[in-house]
């Protein structure tokens, strides 16, 4: 969960990491704070060059992967909608901001199928001083390169197939920090999607980018999962006995009705016969 949240936080920061316009500007102090899935990233403050007059326009802080639409302004307040596609991860959201000549503040809310909902609060203060926004853009790109290097360490930490799925935004897509791991990532997805119930349902309810990028057939994975529904399959029984067992059973009844019916009957017999043997054994020992 922490890895997943970190990926989402990085995605939001990436959408506001560089300036869209190259023009004479002035310095502003920008502070962003992100909250997501109960986690909070400490406020990040940096000095950036904003094109003159552009501090009230969110398009000046959204990078090429984000599209700003439906902009509205009334007095010193403005609102807008956004859609970002960062390395295959699509996020939609909205923002609102109030502004004075020397200060802007507001909130941007985002959501995506994989990372859930997140909120970024920002406060921008005018510092003053002439600057070249094109130069600042290059610095921002260098900062993102450094962030990508840190993110790449998450790929080294991935152990289970779910770990890998959680960091898919950092693996898939052009320019992704872990793009060189795509073959390894896809091999794990294809290998485990037909035998790991948890992974199968995560892939099914997520967006289609993983299946598309890896050439993964969820229909084939479903057939393999249904085939594994067997009371004699120790690995399957272990998955059903975990903390999410009840949820998976409910989902599998819809996916594999015939197999789950057979599994339920076999499990009932095993439980009852095993219990009967234990009671007889205890009575024998008691006598």
Closest CA to 2 of 171, 149, 167, 153: 167
Residue with tokens 């909120």: 119
Residues 271 and 228 in one domain: yes
Q: What is the pLDDT of residue 112?
A: 81
Q: Do 36 and 127 belong together in one domain?
A: yes
Domain count, the chain: 2
Asked whether residue 91 falls in the same domain as residue 15, the answer is yes
Q: What is the pLDDT of residue 88?
A: 67
Which has more confidence, 236 or 218?
218
> Which residues in 95-108 are b (16+ Cβ under 10 Å) and which e?
bebebeeeebebeb
Residue 285 pLDDT grade (very low, low, confident, very high; cuts 50, 70, 90)? very low
Residues 146 and 25 in one domain: yes
From 114, 132, 153, give the residue that closes a domain.
153
Query: Does residue 14 sit in the same domain as residue 87?
Result: yes
What does the DSSP 8-state code read for residue 233?
-
Do 177 and 261 belong together in one domain? yes
- What mean pLDDT comes out for the span 71-96? 84
- pLDDT of the residue at 23: 62
Average pLDDT on 267-287 reads 53
Residue 217 in any domain: the answer is: yes
| Residue 81, both tokens | 């909608």
Q: Does residue 149 sit in the same domain as residue 162? A: no
Q: How many CB atoms lie within 10 A of CB 202?
A: 17
Same domain, 15 and 149: yes
Residue 41 falls inside a structural domain: yes
**Which residues span the domain enclosing 197?**
158-275
Which among 131, 153, 175 is the end of a domain? 153
* 166 & 60 share domain: no
Q: Are residues 99 and 25 in the same domain?
A: yes
Residue 185, pLDDT score: 94
Instruction: Determine the Cα–Cα distance for residues 238 and 98; give it in Å rounded to an integer.
Output: 54
Residues 250-262: tens digit of each pLDDT: 888 999 999 999 9
Shared-domain flag, residues 115 and 248 = no
Angle at 204 between CA 3 and CA 161, to 5 degrees: 40
CA distance 35 to 119: 5
pLDDT digits (tens, 9 = 90+) for 182-226: 999 999 999 999 989 889 999 988 868 899 999 999 999 999 999
User: Is residue 40 included in any domain, yes or no?
Assistant: yes
Q: Is residue 132 part of a domain?
A: yes
- What is the per-residue pLDDT for 183? 94
Distance of alpha carbon 104 from alpha carbon 98, whole angstroms: 6
251 and 125 part of one domain? no
Q: Where are the beta strands (DSSP E) in the chain?
A: 24-36, 39-51, 66-74, 77-86, 89-100, 103-112, 116-132
Single residue among 98, 122, 153 that ends a domain in this structure: 153
* CA–CA separation, 11 and 32 (whole Å): 14
Would you say residue 283 lies in a domain? no
Does 25 have pLDDT greater than 50? Answer: yes
Task: Please name which of 206, 205, 31, 29 lies closest in space to residue 127, comparing C-alpha atoms.
Answer: 29
pLDDT value at position 274?
A: 53
- The answer as to whether 194 is a domain residue is yes
Is residue 135, in this structure, part of any structural domain at all? yes
Looking at beta carbons, which pairs linking 216-219 to residues 24 or more positions away fall under 8 Å? Answer: 216/186, 216/189, 216/190, 218/193
Residue by residue, DSSP assigns 24-35 as EEEEEEEEEEEE
Res 178 pLDDT > 80? yes
Identify the pLDDT of residue 130. Answer: 87
What is the per-residue burial (b if ≥16 Cβ within 10 Å, else e) of 136-145?
bbeebeeebe
């Amino acid at each position: 969960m922490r890895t997943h949240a970190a990926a989402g936080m990085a995605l939001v920061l990436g959408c506001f990491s560089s300036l869209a316009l190259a023009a004479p500007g002035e310095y502003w102090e920008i502070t962003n704070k992100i909250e997501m899935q109960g986690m909070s990233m400490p406020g990040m403050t940096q000095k950036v060059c904003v094109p003159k007059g552009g501090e009230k326009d969110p398009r000046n802080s959204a990078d090429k992967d984000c599209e700003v639409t439906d902009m509205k302004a009334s007095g010193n307040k403005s609102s807008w909608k956004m859609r970002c596609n960062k390395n295959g991860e699509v996020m939609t959201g909205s923002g609102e901001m109030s502004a004075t000549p020397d200060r802007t503040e507001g909130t941007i809310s985002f959501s995506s199928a994989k990372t859930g909902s997140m909120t970024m609060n920002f406060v921008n203060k005018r510092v003053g001083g002439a600057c070249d926004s094109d130069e600042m853009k290059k610095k921002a790109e260098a900062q993102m390169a450094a962030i990508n290097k840190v993110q790449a360490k998450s790929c080294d930490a991935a152990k289970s197939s779910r770990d890998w799925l959680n960091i898919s935004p950092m693996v898939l897509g052009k320019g992704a920090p872990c793009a060189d791991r795509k073959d390894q990532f896809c091999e794990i997805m294809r290998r485990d999607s037909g035998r790991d119930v948890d992974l199968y349902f995560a892939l099914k309810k997520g967006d289609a980018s993983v299946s598309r990028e890896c050439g993964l057939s969820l229909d084939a994975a479903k057939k393999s999962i249904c085939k594994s529904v067997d009371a004699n399959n120790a690995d399957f029984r272990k998955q059903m006995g975990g903390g999410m067992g009840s949820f998976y059973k409910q989902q599998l009844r819809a996916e594999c009705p015939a197999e789950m019916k057979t599994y339920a009957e076999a499990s009932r017999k095993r439980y009852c016969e095993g219990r009967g043997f234990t009671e007889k054994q205890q009575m024998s020992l008691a006598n």
